[in-house]
Amino acid sequence: MDRNRLLVVDDEPVVRELLSATLRFAGYTVGSAATGSEALDAARHEPPDLVLLDVMLPDMDGFEVVRRLRELPRPLGAGHPGRIPVLFLTARDAAADKVNGLRLGGDDYVTKPFDLEELLARIQAVLRRTGLAPDDRTLRAGDLEVDPDGHQVLKAGRPVRLSPTEFRLLHYLVLNTGRVVTKAQILEHVWQYDFAGDSSIVDTYVSYVRRKADTTEPKLIHTVHGVGYVLRRPRT
């Protein structure tokens, strides 16, 4: 999959790490920065397709970061509009701050606390408006299709009904096609950091997903004993 590269800029480690993990799970390549200077440095060396930017940073505010970002040389590369889109993601919810951020060249302004599904939808909307969103982010393995935007799964062209947790599990396996993922990694990405239960829940949910979405030969989801699971494309 042709992944968009996002840059998360926030001085709070927990927020930065949670956002980064969520965005990677959604299929993006993610970099991060804790200060405005780090963000500008990262943008110079590897221009992202979108910056998620907090306003309150320790060295300069997000508005100043946008001013300096707009002064950087235009990114090169096929399909890049030459102007890095910015989505403000901040606790500052005053109307004046929103107006200021948008006037300075921000493409959207989301206030904390925020809904992750809404944030992902807004990111996609900005990427589409700037012509940077891939036309099709559907993941495919054999006769299985997983649409991360529409949260839909097709098996041989027929819809498969999965619970939200089952969908996250299948999406994570397909996203890592050909790579063995451990139960600990699955717990971290599917159940998030605060899950402290028995890892046998992974086996239970893998069996659910197999019964619903891996019903024909050759099988796609394989057990790697003592390690975890891997989804492999069928050999042609």
Q: Is the pLDDT of residue 134 over 80?
A: no
What pLDDT is attached to residue 129?
81
Q: Put residue 192 in one of left, alpha, beta given phi > 0 → left and psi -120 to 50 → alpha.
A: left
Q: Which residues of 101-111 are buried (b: 16+ CB within 10 A; e: fewer)?
A: beebebbbbbe
104, 71 in Cβ contact below 8 A? no
Q: Put residue 27 in one of left, alpha, beta given phi > 0 → left and psi -120 to 50 → alpha.
A: left
116, 22 in Cβ contact below 8 A? yes
Looking at every residue in the chain, the average pLDDT score rounds to: 86
136-158 tens-digit pLDDT: 567 888 889 898 877 889 998 88
Rounded CA-CA distance 142/166 in Å is: 19
Task: For residue 115, give both structure tokens.
Answer: 């809904």
Task: For residue 14, give both structure tokens.
Answer: 């927990």
Residue pointed to by tokens 């998030």: 192
Rounded CA-CA distance 114/138 in Å is: 26
Q: Domain residues of the chain, as ranges?
A: 5-130, 139-231
What are the distances in angstroms from CA 123 to CA 48, 87, 128, 168, 182? 13, 8, 9, 19, 29
Question: With pLDDT > 90 as the criterion, what percentage of the chain qualifies?
Answer: 49
Q: What's the DSSP call for residue 59?
A: S
Domain 139-231 fold? Arc Repressor Mutant, subunit A (1.10.10)
Please state which of the ranges 30-39, 126-135, 144-153, 227-236 shows the lowest mean pLDDT: 126-135
Q: Could you give the angle at the alpha carbon of 124 between the alpha carbons of 172 and 159, nearest 5°?
A: 50
Residue pointed to by tokens 């390690």: 227
Rounded CA-CA distance 146/160 in Å is: 10
At residue 124, what is the residue type?
Q
Task: For residue 67, give both structure tokens.
Answer: 């001013």
What are the distances in angstroms from CA 61 to CA 10, 64, 92, 114? 11, 6, 11, 20
Rounded CA-CA distance 100/50 in Å is: 19
65-108 tens-digit pLDDT: 999 988 877 654 434 446 789 999 989 888 998 999 888 889 99
Q: Is the pLDDT of residue 63 over 70?
A: yes
- 5-130 CATH: 3.40.50.2300
